[in-house]
């Protein structure tokens, strides 16, 4: 953790698990931004996920095929592919 702090590797958007930067504070900040966007005619689309254990028992290749078949944008599908690749790398290391 000290390495990440010393080298400023945490984004200013990173909350949770950092002293003094609670997820509640993040929710307050993003709510303020969303309110401002909406007041100026903007649109907000949000997906919150906690993927850590969600896909442990799901066949990853099958899920990727289903996501493609549902017509999800390729960048969204790539997000899942990257997540699964990272998970598999961590398991083998």
Q: H or E segment at 9? A: none
pLDDT tens digits, 46-93? 887 766 666 677 888 998 998 888 888 899 899 889 888 876 665 555
What is the distance between the alpha carbons of residues 1 and 11, in angstroms, rounded to a whole number?
13
Cβ neighbourhood burial of 83 (10 Å; 0-12, 13-18, 19+):
middle
Boundaries of every domain in the chain:
2-39, 60-92
Which residues have C-beta within 8 Å of that of residue 84, sequence separation ≥ 6?
55, 60, 64
Q: Over 80: is that where the pLDDT of 45 sits?
A: yes
> pTM of this prediction?
0.41
């Amino acid at each position: 953790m000290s390495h990440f702090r010393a080298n400023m590797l945490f984004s200013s958007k990173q909350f949770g698990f950092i002293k003094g930067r609670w997820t509640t504070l993040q929710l307050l900040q993003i709510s303020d931004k969303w309110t401002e966007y909406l007041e100026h005619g903007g649109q907000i689309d949000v997906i919150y996920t906690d993927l850590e254990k969600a896909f442990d028992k799901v066949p990853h290749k099958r899920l990727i095929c289903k996501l493609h078949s549902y017509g999800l944008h390729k960048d969204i599908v790539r997000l899942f592919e990257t997540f699964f690749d990272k998970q598999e790398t961590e398991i083998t290391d």
